[in-house]
Amino acid sequence: MITSTRLRLAAALLSGGCLLIGTAGAAIAAEPPSFQSIDTDGNGALSRAEWGKMVSDQIANAEGRAAKRLAEMPEDKRTETLDRRFRGLDGDSDGSLSQAEWDARRRD
């Protein structure tokens, strides 16, 4: 059974958030990395590859059940899930995320 906490944690990862382990051992959502730190080529837009690397790095480094479930997801299912989420964040459907689209994800 997937709890609402697990869903919130998975959503935090997929939207560019990250997880921290609290003092009681519970995973909590933390501030996501900055737009500029993800935009590795410095062109002012996040490509699917840049965004995907950030999410993959967070999954690989995160502790907690939600992150582990995402990490254990079959590659094709994880790719499909990430593609769908990226398209959802890409408001103008141009194949990249602008700073405004990145900031708008927090209002979702």
Quick one: three-class SS letters along 11-46? HHHHCCCEEEECCCCCEEEECCCCHHHHCCCCCCCE
Residue 22 has pLDDT above 50, yes or no: no
- Tell me the C-alpha to C-alpha distance, in Å, between residue 44 and each of 90, 96, 98, 100: 14, 10, 7, 11
Q: What is the pTM of this model?
A: 0.67
- Per the domain annotation, does 37 fall within a domain? no
- Per the domain annotation, does 8 fall within a domain? no
Residues 42-61: tens digit of each pLDDT: 999 999 999 988 888 888 77
- Per the domain annotation, does 54 fall within a domain? yes
- Per the domain annotation, does 2 fall within a domain? no
Instruction: Note down the domain range covering 62.
Output: 45-108
Predicted confidence band of residue 11 (pLDDT cuts 50, 70, 90): low
- Least trusted range by pLDDT, from 34-43, 59-68, 96-105: 59-68
- Per the domain annotation, does 7 fall within a domain? no
Q: Provide the number of structural domains found in the chain.
A: 1
